Amino acid sequence: MTDTLRCAIVGTGAIAHSHAAAIAAYPHAQLVAVTDHSRATAETFAVAFGGAAVYDDLAALLAAEHPDVVHVCTPPGAHPAQVIAAFAAGAHVVVEKPPAPSLDQLQEMTDAATAADRQLAVVFQQRTGTAAAHVKRLLDSGALGRPLVAQCQTLWYRDAAYFAVPWRGRWETEGGGTTLGHAIHQIDLLAFLLGAWTRVEGRLWRLDRETQTEDVSTATVVFEGGVVAQVVSSTLSPRETSSIRIDTEKATVTVDHLYGHGHDNWRITPAPHVEPAEAAGWDLTGPEEGSGHLPLLRDVFDALRSGAPLPATAEAPARSLEIVAAIYASADADGQVITPAVLAAHPTHRTSFASTVIDLRPPR
């Protein structure tokens, strides 16, 4: 058991605050160093979180500090090189979503982890929380019967000013539209609950915003065992919600929230034929912990210190990225069915998600 994990953060912007807070909350971790393109940002951040050392770049940080864990909190395009450099320096890595801008680059990252015998933990914090764990146990154990049909909605609102930032809404700089940038959280939670996907059909739409990428996408995703999920992703929706609904043989499970969930956000409704005593066994009881970076990083740190495998909440970095890639690949082929085998051998969509968007905006 390692005593105290020496952590470093690269990219001290918005989400890095959640990492620093989780490091501070864990009794056996310490933030020792930070670096950012903007030294001023890194210095302000270091002062706010206990005076970590500030470095001009990641190479200098790694050479001087030899951290146990590097938290990669930069934009997705910077993740692959930084993650691979951290592994080469002998650190474990915690990388923010989406873990990489392409499946091939994610493969290079996981290969580097294997070569260095280090762990790559991915941040999809929607998988965490006691309610998601409870529902996953019920589904995995078969207590709710076979899952049949599902809906997954990321209906968010981002105005024109949001897309006016130069790197947003462009394939080259953002990598994808709302499917990759926003909906991946909910798609990831859906796949965490339902498991491996077997086919995807998708379409990308541009209905209003000035973007090169999509502002809406629609897709059908089929999971192993024959669960059919309808996935709708939007940045045009004034009443915002993140929702999943899974209808099984015995119950409907729903979660409705925006950026995080606790017990109150989840509901399990039994089918008419289910006896009340059986349904009572599905109740969410016991202490509540909401979803978030705190429980995710606590469980990752526990695993790294003890040498145990990563928790299910932090492993399988490719699962939801593959579904997103398959939606883009399908849309680029006029809605063609994409299977894991087709995606694995795909000539373009393992390296770039750039795809065909159907533009339905009225002339301006």
Ligand X SMILES: NC(=O)c1ccc[n+]([C@@H]2O[C@H](COP(=O)([O-])OP(=O)(O)OC[C@H]3O[C@@H](n4cnc5c(N)ncnc54)[C@H](O)[C@@H]3O)[C@@H](O)[C@H]2O)c1
The yes or no reply on residue 173 touching ligand X (CB under 6 A) is no
Residue nearer to ligand X on the CB measure, 123 or 139: 123
The yes or no reply on residue 354 touching ligand X (CB under 6 A) is no
The answer to whether residues 323 and 331 touch, using CB atoms and an 8 Å cutoff, is no
Residue nearer to ligand X on the CB measure, 76 or 202: 76
User: What distance in Å separates the CA atoms of residue 185 and residue 123, rounded to the nearest whole number?
Assistant: 10
The yes or no reply on residue 38 touching ligand X (CB under 6 A) is yes
Residue whose Cβ sits closest to ligand X: 13
The yes or no reply on residue 41 touching ligand X (CB under 6 A) is yes
Q: How far is CA 284 from the centre of its chain?
A: 25
Of the candidate residues 96, 174, 214, 322, the single one contacting ligand X (CB under 6 A): 96
The yes or no reply on residue 21 touching ligand X (CB under 6 A) is no
Q: Determine the interface stretch with ligand X among 67-75, 107-115, 267-275, 341-349 (rule: CB under 6 A).
A: 67-75
Please state the three-class secondary structure of 154-200 as a single string: EEEECCHHHHHCCCCCCHHHHCCCHHHHCCHHHHHHHHHHHCCEEEE
The yes or no reply on residue 13 touching ligand X (CB under 6 A) is yes
Lookup: tokens for 271 = 């089918």
The answer to whether residues 84 and 118 touch, using CB atoms and an 8 Å cutoff, is no
User: What distance in Å separates the CA atoms of residue 173 and residue 339, rounded to the nearest whole number?
Assistant: 27
The yes or no reply on residue 74 touching ligand X (CB under 6 A) is yes
Of the candidate residues 5, 12, 68, 131, the single one contacting ligand X (CB under 6 A): 12
The yes or no reply on residue 169 touching ligand X (CB under 6 A) is no
* Residue 101: exposure state from Cβ atoms within 10 A (0-12, 13-18, ≥19): buried
Total interface residues for ligand X by CB under 6 A: 19
For residue 79, which of 118, 32, 112, 51 has the smallest C-alpha distance? Answer: 112
**Angle in degrees, 0-180, between the axes of helices 130-141 and 184-194, rounded to the nearest 10:** 40
Q: Smallest distance from the beta carbon of 99 to ligand X, in angstroms?
A: 8
Q: Determine the interface stretch with ligand X among 12-20, 101-109, 127-135, 280-288 (rule: CB under 6 A).
A: 12-20
The yes or no reply on residue 19 touching ligand X (CB under 6 A) is no
Q: Please, where are the H alpha helices in 66-155?
A: 79-88, 103-116, 130-141
The yes or no reply on residue 75 touching ligand X (CB under 6 A) is yes
Sheet of 120-123: strand order equals 53-55, 29-35, 5-10, 69-72, 92-96, 120-123
For residue 322, which of 340, 337, 334, 348 has the smallest C-alpha distance? Answer: 340
Site residues (CB under 6 A) for ligand X, limited to 108-127? 123, 125
The yes or no reply on residue 36 touching ligand X (CB under 6 A) is yes
Of the candidate residues 76, 175, 176, 290, the single one contacting ligand X (CB under 6 A): 76
Q: Please, where are the H alpha helices in 242-289?
A: 276-280
Of the candidate residues 9, 32, 73, 200, the single one contacting ligand X (CB under 6 A): 73
Q: Smallest distance from the beta carbon of 132 to ligand X, in angstroms?
A: 15
Q: Smallest distance from the beta carbon of 222 to ligand X, in angstroms?
A: 27
Residue nearer to ligand X on the CB measure, 158 or 346: 158
3-state SS, residue 347: coil
Of the candidate residues 6, 37, 39, 267, the single one contacting ligand X (CB under 6 A): 37
Residue nearer to ligand X on the CB measure, 38 or 306: 38
Residue located via tokens 């130069």: 166
Of the candidate residues 1, 3, 14, 272, the single one contacting ligand X (CB under 6 A): 14
Residue nearer to ligand X on the CB measure, 36 or 247: 36
The yes or no reply on residue 80 touching ligand X (CB under 6 A) is no
Q: Which residues would be at the binding site for ligand X (CB under 6 A)?
A: 10-15, 36-38, 41, 73-76, 78, 96-97, 123, 125
